Amino acid sequence: MRLNRLDLVRYGKFTDRRLDFGTRRQGADLHIVYGPNEAGKSTLFNGFLDLLFGIEARSAYGFLHPYPAMRVGGIIETGVGTQEVFRVKRAQNTLIDAADRPLPDGLFAAALAGIDRDSYRMMFSLDDDTIEKGGDAILKSEGELGTLLFAASAGLPDTAAALEALKNEADSFYKPQGRKHQLGELKDRLDRLRQEKTALDVTARAFKDLRRDRDVATEAHERAVAARASLQAALEHCRAAIDAMPILARLKAGREELEAYAELPEPPSHWFSELPGLLREEVALATRLAESEAARARIEAAMEGLVRDPDALSLAAGLAALTQDNLDARERAAAQDLPVRVSERQRVLADLSIVRARLGLAEDVAVTRLIVPAAELARLQALARRHAQLAERVAASGRELTAAEKAVRQAVQSGKDETEAASVDDELVERLKQALAAARASDAPLRRQEAERRTQTEGAQLAERLAALSPFAGSPEDLAALGVPAAEEVASWRLRTASLEEERLRVEARLGDIDADLAADTARADALASRGGLVEDEAAARLRAAREAAWQAHEDALDRQTATRFRAALTEDDEAVAARLAHAAELSRLRDLTEAKRDKQARRQALQDRLATLRQEQARIDDEVVSACSACGLDKPLPPARLDAWLIRRVEALAARTALIDARRAGTQAAREEDGLRAALSEALLPLLLRADSLGGQGSPLVQDALPSRFDALLAFAERRLAAAQDKARDERAAREAAESARALLESRREDHEAASAEQARWETDWQRALAQAAVLDWIMPAGAEPGDAAVPPPDLVLPLLGVLQEAETLAVKLADLDHRIAAMEADRAAFRAAVARLQPMGQGDDPLSVLDALRRRLQVAQEAERLGERLEEEARRQEEAEARLLEDQNRHDALKREMLRLFDAESLSEVATRLDAVKTRHHLRQRLSEAEGDLCRRLQVDRPEDAEAQLEALDRTALAEERAALEVRLADAESETGEALVARRAAEKALAAVAGSDAAAHLEEQRRTVLADIEARALRYLRLRAGILAGEEALRLYRERHRSAMLARASQAFSAISGGDYEGLGSERAKGKEVLFARAAGGATKFAEDLSKGTRFQLYLALRIAGYHETAELRDPLPFIADDIMETFDDRRAGHAFRLMGDMALKGQVIYLTHHEHLCEIARSVCPDVQLHRL
């Protein structure tokens, strides 16, 4: 995939912003996007992700454009073609084409190959934050090789931390040597629940007694509550009667006070609010009447003293027309400017005389002869300016022609020297270059060395892991061929065994409890039976059967002997019945104990049956385990837990066997590839060595013997021979190109010189023709000479003359303008005087401006008098309207006033106010009486006040007080009895609730089963975690073994290149049971992760990511890789090395680097000429 163009139509801070990366060109596809801080570089990357995967639901880039308007697009090139697409934010059909037609959301699914947004960020992007996390991850992982290689390839710097978190989670549930863990806490909780449930067991007889005590206490408490309520009601009624007596007294006093207001009439309710307004309105009307009369007198006096001038008003139209024509303003301006313009005209005439003298012309020469046409003047000036340019051009072209002839001679001589030496065959050089490139790109030597080391290491590890499988004594092949049980089956055995063992312990504990209870019940029954006179049910039944048999015998025989036996049997039966009646309570208790024993014996038998079933199930599991151990080649069976550990060690041994086989296979393959590379490199070197003079043309066997035997030495020898051949070929090409360039330059310089000379000749012809057309030649030639007799004057002589002619033209234009202005001013003055004379006749010496000002003042006075008269008339009209409204208000006020005075028979509104206050007092008194009657009815709980008054009249206050005191004492006693009854009731209920009368036992059993289910779920989670951790560690190890050689070689080269040779590369060694990465310094020192500086760890992580990118690029088409200012801690030298490596990445896929450091752009251009720079 490649991004050809990104269109930020409406996205973030951008509107219609386009970033064009172009199509793929030859060389590195590296792009630098430069922009200052806050220019939107990070927005570009997020916009590209939104284009591929859709705009996020809560996007942070909708601050300028609303969500529905957001739009980002671009041109994306994939393996199937190029597509122009756009992405918008809506519920569906968010991917569209240029015509807004919907496209399938999975359009780029094949190119992305299952990579989502987060995976893209991790694998194909790098910024300052992720490179810092990668450096920290190197430190946290302590350089573990598999973790680092996987993190570099997948872009996940926290793999070690994730595995460690999973281990901590598993250990928190169960750790064999740990003292505190979740499994132990859950088992303790199971024990507590069992103990609580055991404490709730109680006999049936005790439960009946507790329930009977509860019922008796409840009845007693309810009786006490009813008695207390009755006393409380009597006391409340007594208190209400006592409290109502003062209210009755107030009610009687209020009625007597109300009788004093009985004769007052009932006015309308609105009078109370209207009376204050009427009082104020009465005063206001009197004031308004006085003000109205004063205003009328003032207006009449003003109209009598007004003087009007109708003749002056008739001049208004004429004065307005004069002002509109602006004649007075032009008169004043002409009076001031006309003398100045006349004087200025005299000066212009004097300047023209001077110009004629400078040109040598007479005074009578017309001014128009001094004006040169504009086209001819412009042509002369243009030709004069062009003359200097042509002269310089001719001189410069001559100098350049001489220099080019000299360069051609030197290039020809240099080419002769180069051709005398032996030439280089380009085809042989290209063959050697390709062979050397293939040898450089291959990691076969490193893989061969690594495979040899791995063979030794994995062999030792396999032997160690086979020894740990004791008592198994077979070979690795025998171990692989074993039919072992599945991990789920072994886990099931372990869980089932643990569950059966736990249930067995519970059953045995319950059996012990039941045996103890049975023994106690038996002892209590024996104690009751040992008491004298107690006849059990079986004995009573035997006596009754004996009596019935004796009676039947006596009835058959009817003799003395049978009668005696019947009498004896009857006596024993009667005595037994009497004894049972006398000991009925002990007999009932014995009967309850017998029933309890029978119930416990039944539960004991059920528990014994369950125990036998558990033993059978455990035996079946043991048989399955024995069979599995036999299938695994073990002489003696192992418990499920040890068998599980043995199977885990077997998986580790098989993994070591697989790693050993892979190492041997990789060594063989690497050796075969190394031999092929050596043969190809030697074949490419031989033709070049045979042509060299150093071997004197000897035969091929001698040349073959001269080649180094070691692969790395052969590679260095080939690089030196290739560099020498390339230098020789480059010198030859440079000499040929220099000679060809010099000849082409000479021809170009000769053409330029000839063109300049021809153009100068054309100028001379144009100059002479232009002088003849302008008639300038007549003025500068001697008197009596012909035009053709003198040489053409140069521009230096003609240009000053043209300047004088331009001055004359300017003066002529100015003179014509002054003549026009003077004539216009004189015409304006004559028109103004005629206009004023039409308004008022005037003498010969009168000033028209003074006459005009006097007329305007007279008109202004007449207009002001007219406006004053109109204003007074308007005021008089408004005054009449105000007097009419005042009369209406007065009539309305008088009508309401008369109505109030008539109702109260008053003389003034003040008396009316007094009567209304009395009415208001009567109303308040009635309200208080009504409230007192209502309060009295509520206290005595009657419907009518008359009934309440009748009750109170019949009562004695002293007797009520004595009754209240007696009721309060009795109520206090009832409160105490009720409290004691409630305490007894609560105690009985609590005692009953503490035993199995509720569902507490069922709740405890439910909690116990919940805890068991929780233990089972967490145990399964624990097993999955442990298996997943082992699988993850094994996957990291396998990833390390499969990719270590190629990725480590690339990372080593990249790290050495970034550091500029300060570090030779990377290596690995085993430490603490794992493969650890270290860096080799240039001086030979070894540095592990914790020994590296922070910046160096960042560069190491970048080298690992570069190696991971190349590894990914070999497996699939790479996606655009985007880096955002990751070189903050790099100096310029290491930044240049990093850009060179990015250029290598860009040979396989598109690489985009975002930065706000402008100097990095120049660094990138210097190390990678193919880089393309884009500015925001």
pLDDT at 700 over 70: no
- What band does 1152 get if pLDDT is binned at 50, 70 and 90? very high
- What band does 1071 get if pLDDT is binned at 50, 70 and 90? low
Residue 745 forms part of a structural domain? yes
Do 525 and 615 lie in one domain? The reply is yes
Highest mean pLDDT among 97-106, 142-151, 408-417, 589-598: 97-106
- Across residues 363-376, what is the average pLDDT? 70
pLDDT of residue 574: 72
pLDDT at 724 over 90: no
DSSP 793-846: PPHHHHHHHHHHHHHHHHHHHHHHHHHHHHHHHHHHHHHHHHHHHHHS---TT-
Number of domains in the chain: 4
The amino acid occupying position 580 is R
How many Cβ atoms from other residues are within 10 Å of residue 1151's Cβ?
Answer: 27
Which of 725, 751, 775 represents a domain boundary (last residue)?
A: 775
Assign residue 624 a region (left: φ > 0; alpha: ψ between -120 and 50; beta: otherwise).
alpha
Residue 490 forms part of a structural domain? no
3-state secondary structure 166-182: HHHHHHHHCCCCCCCCH
Number of helices (H), then strands (E), belonging to the chain: the values are 33, 13
pLDDT at 238 over 50: yes
DSSP-based three-state secondary structure for 633? coil
Residue 743 forms part of a structural domain? yes
DSSP-based three-state secondary structure for 637? coil
- Across residues 768-784, what is the average pLDDT? 58
Mean pLDDT over all residues of the chain? 77
Q: Which of 1026, 1023, 1003 is nearest to 1015 (CA)?
A: 1023
Do 555 and 614 lie in one domain? The reply is yes
Better pLDDT: 722 or 53: 53
Which of 590, 624, 658 represents a domain boundary (last residue)?
A: 624
b or e along 6-42 (b: 16 or more beta carbons within 10 Å of the residue's beta carbon)?
bbbbbbbebeebebebeeeeeebbbbbbbbeeebbbe
Helices (H), 487-583: 487-529, 537-557, 560-582
Do 759 and 669 lie in one domain? The reply is no
pLDDT at 776 over 70: no
Better pLDDT: 457 or 785: 457
Q: How far apart are CA 1062 and CA 748, in angstroms?
A: 52
User: Which sign, positive or negative, has the C-alpha torsion 863, 865, 866, 867?
Assistant: positive
- Please identify which residue in the block is written with the tokens 């007065």: 890
CA angle centred on 1089, ends 1083 and 1092, rounded to 5°: 55
Expressed as residue numbers, the domain containing 471 is 445-481+643-706
pLDDT in tens, 857-874: 877 787 787 788 788 888
- Across residues 272-285, what is the average pLDDT? 79
Q: How far apart are CA 193 and CA 1006, in angstroms?
A: 10
pLDDT at 1142 over 50: yes
pLDDT in tens, 493-531: 777 787 788 888 888 888 888 888 888 878 877 776 666
Do 517 and 554 lie in one domain? The reply is yes
pLDDT at 795 over 60: yes
pLDDT at 62 over 80: yes
pLDDT at 667 over 50: yes
Better pLDDT: 1150 or 332: 1150
Highest mean pLDDT among 39-53, 892-906, 931-945, 982-996: 39-53
Q: In what order do the strands lie in the sheet with 1086-1087?
A: 1063-1071, 1074-1081, 1086-1087
Highest mean pLDDT among 698-707, 795-804, 1066-1075: 795-804
Tokens of 776: 């300038």
Residue 811 forms part of a structural domain? no
DSSP-based three-state secondary structure for 1062? coil
In this structure, of 287-301, 685-699, 742-756, 979-993, the range with the lowest mean pLDDT score is: 685-699
Do 606 and 514 lie in one domain? The reply is yes
Which of 775, 796, 826 represents a domain boundary (last residue)?
A: 775
Helices (H), 421-443: 426-441
Contacts of residue 785, defined as CB under 8 A and 6 or more positions apart, other chains included, come to none
Do 958 and 976 lie in one domain? The reply is yes
In this structure, of 106-115, 191-200, 383-392, 1038-1047, the range with the lowest mean pLDDT score is: 1038-1047
DSSP-based three-state secondary structure for 341? helix
Do 541 and 609 lie in one domain? The reply is yes
Q: How far apart are CA 1077 and CA 1056, in angstroms?
A: 14
pLDDT of residue 1153: 93
pLDDT at 610 over 80: yes
Highest mean pLDDT among 739-743, 832-836, 938-942, 1103-1107: 1103-1107
Longest CA pairwise span in the chain (Å)? 213
Is the previous residue joined to 471 through a cis bond, with omega within 30 degrees of 0? yes
DSSP 12-36: TTEEEEEEE--S--SS--EEEEE--
Residue 655 φ/ψ, nearest 5 degrees: -65, -40
pLDDT at 1062 over 80: yes
Better pLDDT: 1155 or 548: 1155
Assign residue 26 a region (left: φ > 0; alpha: ψ between -120 and 50; beta: otherwise).
beta
pLDDT of residue 789: 44
In this structure, of 93-102, 191-200, 770-779, the range with the lowest mean pLDDT score is: 770-779
Let me know if 823 is exposed, middle or buried by CB neighbors in 10 A (0-12, 13-18, 19+).
exposed
pLDDT at 935 over 90: no
Do 673 and 656 lie in one domain? The reply is yes
Residue 958 forms part of a structural domain? yes
- Across residues 746-771, what is the average pLDDT? 80
Better pLDDT: 955 or 104: 104
DSSP-based three-state secondary structure for 988? helix
Q: Quick check: 603 and 514 in contact, CB under 8 A?
A: yes
Do 556 and 455 lie in one domain? The reply is no
pLDDT in tens, 796-834: 777 777 777 777 778 778 878 888 888 888 787 777 777
Residue 540 forms part of a structural domain? yes
Residue 926 forms part of a structural domain? no
Q: Is the pTM of this model over 0.85?
A: no
Residue 340 φ/ψ, nearest 5 degrees: -65, -45
pLDDT of residue 581: 60
Residue 977 forms part of a structural domain? yes
Do 682 and 572 lie in one domain? The reply is no
pLDDT in tens, 119-139: 788 778 888 888 888 777 765
Do 677 and 719 lie in one domain? The reply is no
pLDDT at 545 over 60: yes
Do 401 and 477 lie in one domain? The reply is no
pLDDT at 56 over 90: no
In this structure, of 146-155, 256-265, 635-644, the range with the lowest mean pLDDT score is: 146-155
